[in-house]
Structure 1
Amino acid sequence: MIGADQHEGEPNRAAGLVPALEAIRLGRRADDRTDAVEQVGRTLIDIGAVAEDYLGTMHQREAAGSTYIGEGVAIPHGTDESRAHVHRSAVAVVQFPEGVDWGGEDVRLCVGIAVMDSEHVSFLASLARVLIVPDQAERLRSARDARSIIQILRSTVSNRS
Protein backbone atom coordinates (compact mmCIF):
# COMPACT_ATOMS: atom_id res chain seq x y z
CA MET A 1 0.00 0.00 0.00
CA ILE A 2 1.28 3.48 -0.82
CA GLY A 3 1.64 5.83 2.13
CA ALA A 4 0.29 9.39 2.15
CA ASP A 5 3.74 10.88 1.49
CA GLN A 6 4.78 8.24 -1.06
CA HIS A 7 4.19 8.30 -4.83
CA GLU A 8 3.53 5.16 -6.85
CA GLY A 9 6.77 3.32 -7.42
CA GLU A 10 8.76 5.29 -4.88
CA PRO A 11 10.67 3.29 -2.31
CA ASN A 12 8.92 2.38 0.91
CA ARG A 13 11.73 2.05 3.45
CA ALA A 14 9.78 -0.44 5.55
CA ALA A 15 9.15 -2.73 2.60
CA GLY A 16 12.45 -2.32 0.75
CA LEU A 17 13.29 -0.59 -2.49
CA VAL A 18 10.83 -0.56 -5.37
CA PRO A 19 11.71 1.23 -8.61
CA ALA A 20 9.93 4.49 -9.36
CA LEU A 21 8.03 4.71 -12.66
CA GLU A 22 10.61 7.07 -14.15
CA ALA A 23 13.37 4.60 -13.25
CA ILE A 24 12.01 1.87 -15.53
CA ARG A 25 12.99 1.75 -19.20
CA LEU A 26 11.41 -0.93 -21.36
CA GLY A 27 12.17 -2.22 -24.86
CA ARG A 28 15.77 -1.04 -25.01
CA ARG A 29 18.76 -2.36 -26.99
CA ALA A 30 22.36 -2.62 -25.86
CA ASP A 31 25.42 -3.46 -27.92
CA ASP A 32 27.06 -5.31 -25.03
CA ARG A 33 27.30 -5.57 -21.26
CA THR A 34 29.20 -2.28 -21.00
CA ASP A 35 26.43 -0.48 -22.89
CA ALA A 36 23.77 -2.09 -20.67
CA VAL A 37 25.57 -0.99 -17.49
CA GLU A 38 25.90 2.49 -18.99
CA GLN A 39 22.15 2.66 -19.68
CA VAL A 40 21.07 1.53 -16.23
CA GLY A 41 23.63 3.83 -14.59
CA ARG A 42 22.45 6.78 -16.69
CA THR A 43 18.92 6.03 -15.54
CA LEU A 44 20.04 6.32 -11.90
CA ILE A 45 21.70 9.65 -12.79
CA ASP A 46 18.62 10.87 -14.69
CA ILE A 47 16.34 10.30 -11.69
CA GLY A 48 18.73 12.18 -9.40
CA ALA A 49 19.70 9.19 -7.28
CA VAL A 50 23.44 9.32 -7.95
CA ALA A 51 26.19 11.65 -9.10
CA GLU A 52 27.97 11.12 -12.45
CA ASP A 53 30.94 9.52 -10.65
CA TYR A 54 28.77 6.59 -9.56
CA LEU A 55 28.57 5.35 -13.15
CA GLY A 56 32.32 4.75 -13.28
CA THR A 57 32.17 2.68 -10.11
CA MET A 58 29.42 0.53 -11.65
CA HIS A 59 31.74 -0.25 -14.57
CA GLN A 60 34.61 -0.96 -12.15
CA ARG A 61 32.44 -3.33 -10.12
CA GLU A 62 31.30 -5.17 -13.26
CA ALA A 63 34.92 -5.52 -14.43
CA ALA A 64 35.80 -7.06 -11.07
CA GLY A 65 33.11 -9.74 -11.42
CA SER A 66 29.85 -10.34 -13.24
CA THR A 67 26.67 -9.11 -11.61
CA TYR A 68 24.59 -11.71 -13.46
CA ILE A 69 22.33 -13.45 -10.92
CA GLY A 70 20.40 -15.88 -13.12
CA GLU A 71 17.05 -16.07 -14.92
CA GLY A 72 18.15 -13.43 -17.43
CA VAL A 73 18.79 -10.76 -14.77
CA ALA A 74 21.90 -8.76 -13.86
CA ILE A 75 22.20 -6.31 -10.95
CA PRO A 76 24.91 -3.74 -11.75
CA HIS A 77 25.87 -1.60 -8.77
CA GLY A 78 28.75 0.37 -7.38
CA THR A 79 31.22 -0.50 -4.66
CA ASP A 80 31.03 0.21 -0.94
CA GLU A 81 33.27 3.23 -1.54
CA SER A 82 30.90 4.56 -4.21
CA ARG A 83 28.20 5.28 -1.62
CA ALA A 84 29.69 8.76 -1.35
CA HIS A 85 28.20 9.38 -4.83
CA VAL A 86 24.69 8.26 -3.87
CA HIS A 87 22.21 11.09 -3.22
CA ARG A 88 19.36 8.74 -2.31
CA SER A 89 18.84 5.01 -2.45
CA ALA A 90 17.12 3.86 -5.63
CA VAL A 91 16.63 1.02 -8.07
CA ALA A 92 16.51 1.40 -11.87
CA VAL A 93 15.27 -1.26 -14.28
CA VAL A 94 16.19 -1.45 -17.97
CA GLN A 95 14.67 -4.19 -20.11
CA PHE A 96 16.46 -5.62 -23.15
CA PRO A 97 13.96 -7.86 -25.02
CA GLU A 98 16.58 -8.99 -27.55
CA GLY A 99 19.01 -9.85 -24.78
CA VAL A 100 22.54 -8.77 -23.98
CA ASP A 101 25.54 -11.10 -23.85
CA TRP A 102 26.71 -11.03 -20.24
CA GLY A 103 29.84 -13.14 -20.27
CA GLY A 104 28.05 -16.00 -22.00
CA GLU A 105 24.72 -15.46 -20.24
CA ASP A 106 21.67 -13.87 -21.86
CA VAL A 107 20.44 -10.86 -19.87
CA ARG A 108 16.97 -9.47 -20.56
CA LEU A 109 16.59 -7.32 -17.44
CA CYS A 110 19.23 -5.08 -15.92
CA VAL A 111 18.47 -3.86 -12.39
CA GLY A 112 20.77 -1.04 -11.28
CA ILE A 113 21.09 -0.54 -7.54
CA ALA A 114 22.35 2.49 -5.63
CA VAL A 115 22.11 2.51 -1.85
CA MET A 116 23.22 4.65 1.04
CA ASP A 117 23.07 1.82 3.58
CA SER A 118 21.48 -1.63 3.69
CA GLU A 119 18.05 -1.06 2.07
CA HIS A 120 19.12 -3.24 -0.83
CA VAL A 121 19.03 -6.41 1.27
CA SER A 122 15.23 -6.63 1.38
CA PHE A 123 15.01 -5.64 -2.30
CA LEU A 124 17.41 -8.42 -3.31
CA ALA A 125 15.42 -10.88 -1.21
CA SER A 126 12.23 -9.77 -3.03
CA LEU A 127 13.93 -10.09 -6.40
CA ALA A 128 15.15 -13.58 -5.48
CA ARG A 129 11.58 -14.60 -4.57
CA VAL A 130 10.47 -13.54 -8.06
CA LEU A 131 13.32 -15.29 -9.84
CA ILE A 132 12.86 -18.67 -8.13
CA VAL A 133 9.37 -18.97 -9.63
CA PRO A 134 9.88 -19.43 -13.39
CA ASP A 135 6.51 -17.92 -14.39
CA GLN A 136 7.10 -14.82 -12.26
CA ALA A 137 10.65 -14.45 -13.59
CA GLU A 138 9.28 -14.59 -17.14
CA ARG A 139 6.59 -12.01 -16.33
CA LEU A 140 9.27 -9.69 -14.93
CA ARG A 141 11.59 -10.11 -17.96
CA SER A 142 8.80 -9.65 -20.50
CA ALA A 143 6.69 -6.96 -18.81
CA ARG A 144 5.09 -4.59 -21.29
CA ASP A 145 4.68 -1.66 -18.92
CA ALA A 146 6.48 -0.17 -15.92
CA ARG A 147 3.53 -0.60 -13.58
CA SER A 148 3.66 -4.37 -14.12
CA ILE A 149 7.28 -4.48 -12.97
CA ILE A 150 6.42 -2.45 -9.87
CA GLN A 151 3.43 -4.69 -9.15
CA ILE A 152 5.47 -7.89 -9.48
CA LEU A 153 8.23 -6.61 -7.19
CA ARG A 154 5.82 -5.08 -4.70
CA SER A 155 3.77 -8.30 -4.46
CA THR A 156 6.81 -10.26 -3.30
CA VAL A 157 7.54 -7.64 -0.64
CA SER A 158 4.00 -7.74 0.72
CA ASN A 159 3.78 -11.57 0.54
CA ARG A 160 6.95 -12.35 2.45
CA SER A 161 6.69 -14.48 5.55
Structure 2
Amino acid sequence: MRDVLERRAVLLHEHADTREEAIRRCGRLLVETGAVAEPYVEAMLERERSISTYVGEGVAIPHGVDREAILRDAICVVRFPDGVDWDGEHVTLCVGIAARGDGHIALLAELAEILLDPGRARALREASEVETVMKELS
Protein backbone atom coordinates (compact mmCIF):
# COMPACT_ATOMS: atom_id res chain seq x y z
CA MET A 1 0.00 0.00 0.00
CA ARG A 2 2.88 2.32 0.78
CA ASP A 3 3.98 2.36 -2.88
CA VAL A 4 0.65 3.93 -3.97
CA LEU A 5 0.33 6.47 -1.13
CA GLU A 6 2.46 9.59 -1.03
CA ARG A 7 2.67 11.87 2.01
CA ARG A 8 1.38 14.77 -0.09
CA ALA A 9 -1.76 12.72 -0.84
CA VAL A 10 -2.84 12.82 2.82
CA LEU A 11 -4.99 15.69 4.07
CA LEU A 12 -6.24 15.49 7.63
CA HIS A 13 -8.09 18.73 8.33
CA GLU A 14 -10.53 19.18 5.44
CA HIS A 15 -14.15 20.29 5.40
CA ALA A 16 -16.96 19.36 3.03
CA ASP A 17 -20.62 20.27 3.29
CA THR A 18 -21.78 17.41 1.07
CA ARG A 19 -20.78 13.96 -0.11
CA GLU A 20 -20.20 15.42 -3.59
CA GLU A 21 -17.81 18.04 -2.19
CA ALA A 22 -15.92 15.32 -0.31
CA ILE A 23 -15.58 13.19 -3.43
CA ARG A 24 -14.48 16.21 -5.46
CA ARG A 25 -11.80 16.95 -2.84
CA CYS A 26 -10.49 13.39 -3.10
CA GLY A 27 -10.53 13.55 -6.88
CA ARG A 28 -8.79 16.93 -6.99
CA LEU A 29 -6.08 15.57 -4.69
CA LEU A 30 -5.50 12.67 -7.08
CA VAL A 31 -5.27 15.19 -9.93
CA GLU A 32 -2.89 17.43 -7.96
CA THR A 33 -0.56 14.52 -7.23
CA GLY A 34 -0.45 13.53 -10.90
CA ALA A 35 -2.22 10.20 -10.49
CA VAL A 36 -5.22 10.98 -12.68
CA ALA A 37 -6.42 13.38 -15.35
CA GLU A 38 -9.26 15.81 -14.63
CA PRO A 39 -12.08 13.61 -16.12
CA TYR A 40 -11.49 11.07 -13.34
CA VAL A 41 -13.12 13.40 -10.80
CA GLU A 42 -16.42 13.23 -12.69
CA ALA A 43 -16.00 9.45 -13.05
CA MET A 44 -15.78 9.22 -9.25
CA LEU A 45 -19.04 11.13 -8.92
CA GLU A 46 -20.72 8.94 -11.54
CA ARG A 47 -19.64 5.82 -9.66
CA GLU A 48 -21.09 7.20 -6.44
CA ARG A 49 -24.42 7.88 -8.17
CA SER A 50 -24.67 4.21 -9.16
CA ILE A 51 -23.64 2.71 -5.81
CA SER A 52 -22.47 4.19 -2.53
CA THR A 53 -18.79 3.85 -1.71
CA TYR A 54 -19.50 3.96 2.03
CA VAL A 55 -17.93 0.86 3.60
CA GLY A 56 -18.76 1.32 7.27
CA GLU A 57 -16.95 2.55 10.37
CA GLY A 58 -17.16 6.15 9.11
CA VAL A 59 -15.14 5.38 5.98
CA ALA A 60 -15.89 5.80 2.27
CA ILE A 61 -13.68 4.65 -0.60
CA PRO A 62 -14.62 6.77 -3.62
CA HIS A 63 -13.23 5.66 -6.96
CA GLY A 64 -14.08 5.97 -10.62
CA VAL A 65 -14.34 3.60 -13.55
CA ASP A 66 -12.68 5.78 -16.22
CA ARG A 67 -9.45 3.78 -16.61
CA GLU A 68 -8.27 6.04 -19.46
CA ALA A 69 -8.05 8.98 -17.04
CA ILE A 70 -5.78 7.07 -14.64
CA LEU A 71 -2.11 7.89 -15.14
CA ARG A 72 -0.79 5.65 -12.35
CA ASP A 73 -2.10 3.60 -9.43
CA ALA A 74 -2.52 5.76 -6.34
CA ILE A 75 -4.60 6.37 -3.26
CA CYS A 76 -5.30 9.50 -1.28
CA VAL A 77 -6.53 9.85 2.27
CA VAL A 78 -8.73 12.79 3.19
CA ARG A 79 -10.02 13.23 6.72
CA PHE A 80 -13.07 15.38 7.45
CA PRO A 81 -13.01 15.86 11.26
CA ASP A 82 -16.51 17.37 11.32
CA GLY A 83 -17.83 14.54 9.21
CA VAL A 84 -19.88 14.45 6.04
CA ASP A 85 -23.40 13.12 5.58
CA TRP A 86 -23.03 10.17 3.22
CA ASP A 87 -26.62 9.36 2.40
CA GLY A 88 -27.48 9.04 6.08
CA GLU A 89 -24.10 7.75 7.24
CA HIS A 90 -21.49 9.88 9.03
CA VAL A 91 -18.17 9.75 7.15
CA THR A 92 -14.97 11.21 8.55
CA LEU A 93 -12.44 9.44 6.35
CA CYS A 94 -12.30 9.08 2.57
CA VAL A 95 -9.74 6.93 0.83
CA GLY A 96 -9.78 7.79 -2.85
CA ILE A 97 -8.54 5.11 -5.23
CA ALA A 98 -7.21 5.27 -8.77
CA ALA A 99 -6.07 1.96 -10.23
CA ARG A 100 -5.54 0.78 -13.77
CA GLY A 101 -6.86 -2.60 -14.81
CA ASP A 102 -7.98 -4.74 -11.90
CA GLY A 103 -5.56 -3.05 -9.49
CA HIS A 104 -8.47 -1.52 -7.58
CA ILE A 105 -9.59 -4.97 -6.46
CA ALA A 106 -6.28 -5.64 -4.72
CA LEU A 107 -6.29 -2.16 -3.18
CA LEU A 108 -9.86 -2.57 -1.94
CA ALA A 109 -9.02 -5.96 -0.43
CA GLU A 110 -5.98 -4.56 1.34
CA LEU A 111 -7.94 -1.57 2.63
CA ALA A 112 -10.76 -3.83 3.80
CA GLU A 113 -8.30 -5.89 5.84
CA ILE A 114 -6.95 -2.75 7.51
CA LEU A 115 -10.39 -1.27 8.13
CA LEU A 116 -11.76 -4.50 9.60
CA ASP A 117 -9.30 -4.03 12.46
CA PRO A 118 -11.24 -1.67 14.77
CA GLY A 119 -8.06 -0.25 16.31
CA ARG A 120 -6.47 0.57 12.97
CA ALA A 121 -9.73 1.96 11.58
CA ARG A 122 -10.08 4.20 14.66
CA ALA A 123 -6.45 5.35 14.37
CA LEU A 124 -7.07 6.38 10.75
CA ARG A 125 -10.34 8.16 11.55
CA GLU A 126 -8.70 10.07 14.40
CA ALA A 127 -5.29 10.70 12.82
CA SER A 128 -3.97 14.23 13.24
CA GLU A 129 -0.53 13.55 11.77
CA VAL A 130 0.35 12.30 8.29
CA GLU A 131 2.87 9.85 9.75
CA THR A 132 0.06 8.04 11.61
CA VAL A 133 -1.77 7.46 8.35
CA MET A 134 1.39 6.33 6.59
CA LYS A 135 2.13 3.87 9.41
CA GLU A 136 -1.39 2.41 9.54
CA LEU A 137 -1.52 1.95 5.76
CA SER A 138 1.88 0.32 5.40
Q: TM-score category by the smaller chain?
A: over 0.9
Corresponding residue for residue 139 of structure 1: 123
- Give 1:65 shift: 1.3
- Report the Cα offset of residue 118 of structure 1: 2.5
Aligned length: 138
The CA RMSD over aligned residues, in Å, is 1.3
Please state if 1:30 is matched with 2:22: no
Alignment of 1:75-154 (within 5 A): 75-79=61-65, 82-154=66-138
Distance 2:98 2:116 in 1: 23
Q: How much does 1:27 deviate?
A: 1.0
Report the Cα offset of residue 10 of structure 1. 5.3
TM-score, with structure 1 as normaliser? 0.81
Bigger radius of gyration among the two: 1
8 Å Cα contact 1:126-1:153 kept in structure 2: no
User: Residue 91 of structure 1: SS of its match in structure 2?
Assistant: strand
The two structures have a TM-score, normalised by structure 2, of 0.94
Structure 2 unaligned spans of 5+: none
Question: Where does structure 1 lack aligned partners over 5 or more consecutive residues?
Answer: 1-8, 12-16, 155-161
Paired residue secondary structure (2:93): strand
Aligned residues: percent identity?
45
Report the equivalent of 1:41: 27
Separation in structure 1 between the aligned mates of residue 56 and residue 2 of structure 2, nearest angstrom: 26
